[in-house]
Structure 1
Amino acid sequence: MDKQQEKEILQRFTILFDEFPKGKLQAGESPDFQVRLNTRKSIGIELTGLKGQDFIHQTGRLLNPSQLIENIMETIAAKEEKLYLYQRKKLHRIWLLIHAETIKTEVNFNLQNKLENLNFDSGFDRVFLFDLGSEQVYELG
């Protein structure tokens, strides 16, 4: 994914997420973006695709809810390994934004309820799942 695509995803997120902080948005690397709140405080935002999305595109098969949760956990774990790089930048907060083209599952279930009842252990200050297809943003606690 190139920087322009990442920027478009983040711009869509900023519109949909009412709590997105006001500040100057800057593209970078490790993390992908920073929101400069003032001269001393910045929020780093790392973007990543949801693991397992290629499975849906290649096979046309849908995920079951437990696979989806497992994929979310794998995605977070993969980024946790790089968290120390982000922390070295002395950012005020560090967010992880996981995006998916669409979240399709084999059975109909309330994703919001499922996610609210799970504890996704992470060193990131905030973790979000962004379903680009439905334009739904879920905060993972």
Structure 2
Amino acid sequence: MDKQYEKQILLQFADLYGEFPKGKLVAGESPDFLLKIKPRKAIGIELTELKGQDFLNHTGSLIEPQNALIHIEHTIRAKEEKLYLYRKKKLYQLWLLIHLNSLSPGINFRLSNKLNKLNFNSGFDRIFLIELARERLYELLSD
């Protein structure tokens, strides 16, 4: 995925997330972006596509949205392996932004409701899931 596309995703995230901090956005690697809030205070933001994309239909929606939670868990676990690299940068916080085109046009409301309440065991300070096509943002709790 190229940096320009990643930046578009991040800007869409910033528009949807009302609490997105003000700061200077700097592209990088491991994590993908740094949001410099103060000279010595930055948030690392790692972007990743939802794992299990082979379960997508031609519209880019998950064919079986009930499996979305399993795919989210796998995606978080895959990025957990890189946390030691991110921590070397001594960042204020580490955020994970999981993106996909859409969960499903007919997604079960209960699943949508669950996403904002589920607690994922993770080393990331904040985890978000963004549906790009439907412009929906969910914050997934982490402990």
Aligned-partner residue type, residue 34 of structure 1: L
Deviations 1:107-136 (A, max 9, x none): 623333212342111100000000111100
Aligned length: 140
**Which residue does 2:120 correspond to in 1?**
120
Higher strand share goes to which structure?
A: 2
Secondary structure of 1:30's aligned partner: coil
**Which residue does 1:43 correspond to in 2?**
43
Name the CA distance, whole Å, in 2 between partners of 1:128 and 1:36: 19
The answer to whether the aligner puts 1:5 opposite 2:5 as a matched pair is yes
**Which residue does 1:19 correspond to in 2?**
19
Secondary structure of 1:76's aligned partner: helix
Change (3 A) 1:61 1:17: closer
In the TM superposition, what is the alpha-carbon distance from 1:95 to its structure 2 partner?
A: 0.2
Name the CA distance, whole Å, in 2 between partners of 1:105 and 1:74: 23
TM-score scaled to structure 2, two decimals? 0.90
Change (3 A) 1:35 1:61: closer
What is the RMSD of the two structures over their aligned residues, measured on CA atoms? 1.9
The 8 Å contact of residues 62 and 103 in structure 2, kept in 1 or not, is answered as no
Name the CA distance, whole Å, in 1 between partners of 2:57 and 2:101: 10
5+ long unaligned stretches in structure 1: none
Secondary structure of 1:73's aligned partner: helix
Change (3 A) 1:61 1:121: closer
5+ long unaligned stretches in structure 2: none
TM-score scaled to structure 1, two decimals? 0.91
Instruction: Indicate the larger mover: 117-126 or 40-49.
Output: 117-126
Superposition misfits of 4+ residues, deviation over 4 angstroms: none
Deviations 1:82-103 (A, max 9, x none): 0110000010100000001111
